[in-house]
């Protein structure tokens, strides 16, 4: 099982990359940096919570783990 700190850092890095890509896509689609920023921020908050929960739940499942 990984530590909570490791899960938090992994989720933060992943969401940082997602924030940048979502902002770029939002800007390309809408032409507005303000709208793109709002979409990216909302996506980051929801995505961060979902990813963190997903990782912590999977860390508790023994299926498919080899060794320890």
pLDDT tens, per residue, the chain with 68 residues: 778 899 889 888 988 898 899 999 999 999 999 999 999 999 888 988 898 899 889 889 988 888 76
Indicate whether 67 belongs to any domain.
Answer: no
- The first and second tokens of residue 20, run together, are 């940048």
pLDDT at 33: 95
Indicate whether 54 belongs to any domain.
Answer: yes
Give pTM, 2 decimals.
0.63
Indicate whether 4 belongs to any domain.
Answer: no
pLDDT at 44: 84
Indicate whether 51 belongs to any domain.
Answer: yes
Indicate whether 26 belongs to any domain.
Answer: no
Indicate whether 16 belongs to any domain.
Answer: no
Indicate whether 52 belongs to any domain.
Answer: yes
8 C-beta neighbours (distance < 10 Å), count: 14
Quote the number of domains for the chain: 1
55 C-beta neighbours (distance < 10 Å), count: 17
**Residue 65: DSSP 8-state:** -
Domain assignment of residue 55, given as a range? 31-59
């Amino acid at each position: 099982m990984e530590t909570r700190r490791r899960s938090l850092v992994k989720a933060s890095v992943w969401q940082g990359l997602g924030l940048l890509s979502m902002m770029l896509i939002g800007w390309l689609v809408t032409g507005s940096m303000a709208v793109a920023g709002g979409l990216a921020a909302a996506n980051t908050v929801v995505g961060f919570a979902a990813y963190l929960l997903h990782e912590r739940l999977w860390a508790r499942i023994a299926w498919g783990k080899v060794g320890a």
